[in-house]
C-alpha cells in the first residue's frame, strides 16, 4: 500500500456541546425514571431502550395530534 505524503485536514465540531449535554441529561433522567422499579436485567434493559426512544415516541404523538 502506498503511503501518501502531505497534510491531512481533520474537522472538529465544537458547536453542539450544550445541546449534547442537555440530551445526555434527558437520557439519564429518563433511564432513572424507567428503571426505578426494575427488578432484573431484562427490566433494566427495557428501561435503557425506553430511555433511548422516548423522544421519538413523544415527537410522533405530538405530530399526530397536530395533524388535521
Q: What are the domain boundaries of the chain?
A: 17-66
Which distant-in-sequence residues (6+ apart) come within 8 Å of 24 by Cβ? none
- The grid coordinates listed for 21 are 449535554
Whole-angstrom CA distances from 15 to 2, 19, 20, 26, 68 are 36, 9, 10, 19, 36
Q: Whole-angstrom Cα distance, residue 38 to residue 42?
A: 8
Write out the chain's pLDDT in tens, 68 residues: 556 666 678 777 677 778 888 888 999 999 999 999 999 999 999 999 999 999 888 889 999 999 86
Amino acid at each position: 500500500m502506498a503511503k501518501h505524503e502531505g497534510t491531512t485536514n481533520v474537522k472538529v465540531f465544537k458547536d453542539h456541546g450544550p445541546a449534547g449535554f442537555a440530551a445526555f441529561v434527558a437520557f439519564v433522567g429518563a433511564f432513572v425514571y424507567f428503571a426505578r422499579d426494575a427488578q432484573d436485567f431484562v427490566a433494566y434493559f427495557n428501561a435503557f431502550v425506553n430511555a433511548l426512544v422516548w423522544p421519538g415516541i413523544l415527537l410522533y404523538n405530538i405530530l399526530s395530534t397536530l395533524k388535521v
